[in-house]
Amino acid sequence: MKIKITFVLWLAGCIGFVQAEDMSSALNAGFKSINQVGLDRLEQDPLQAFCSKPREESGDAAVAAELRETAMASVVLPGNGDYLGSWERGQQVANNGKGLQYSDNPEEANGGNCYACHQLDPAEVAYGNLGPSLTNYGARGQSDVMLQYTWTKLWNTHAYNVCSHMPRFGAQGILTEQQLKDVMAFLFDPDSPVNNLAE
């Protein structure tokens, strides 16, 4: 038993000495470009690099503030000032988990896969809980401040929470402006099932 524990501790120590360059080499050697998915996905941008560090190493408040400001500056508000599209189309975007995988057709629109992390329509039985429930999200109305906040959150959530796990739907080109408007309508439209809780 003592030998097994010693071996496990020795192995853990060896793994701890693996350098970042070695890990990068292993990843690059183990992956290949397929269809629309390239090796560029293995390259971290400054925000990803910052948020990948252990908390005690990435706790530089000045760097975090700079990354938040950069994220906020990347937000592009709707050109015509109209934030809302069709909630029916937004429901389809929220339910669609396809897109950006090597096996997906790049000619087809990406989905938002919103239910992977959020509850939206209270009638939906399968949803994740990494993010907060959005049920009844727009029931309190559609103030300009709330519309802009939500759009910014969808466009680049790191403008508010620098190490958020939420995708940068607008900033990374995952969803189009029209798709974002449709998701906004799904969240805010009074007729959307998101805002129609059963009594």
- State the 10-residue block means of pLDDT for the chain, 199 residues long: 51 52 72 82 88 76 93 94 96 94 90 96 93 93 94 97 95 96 97 82
pLDDT number for residue 120? 96
DSSP string, 122-187: TT------SSPP-TTTTTT---HHHHHHHHHHHH-GGGT-TT--S--TTTTTSS-HHHHHHHHHHH
Instruction: Provide the mean pLDDT of the chain.
Output: 87
pLDDT per residue over 50-80, tens digit each?
Answer: 988 887 765 688 899 999 999 999 999 998 8
Nearest C-alpha neighbor of 197 from the set 126, 121, 129, 142: 121
Kindly list the domain boundaries of the chain, sorted by start residue.
87-195
Which CATH code is given to the segment(s) 87-195? 1.10.760.10
pLDDT number for residue 79? 85
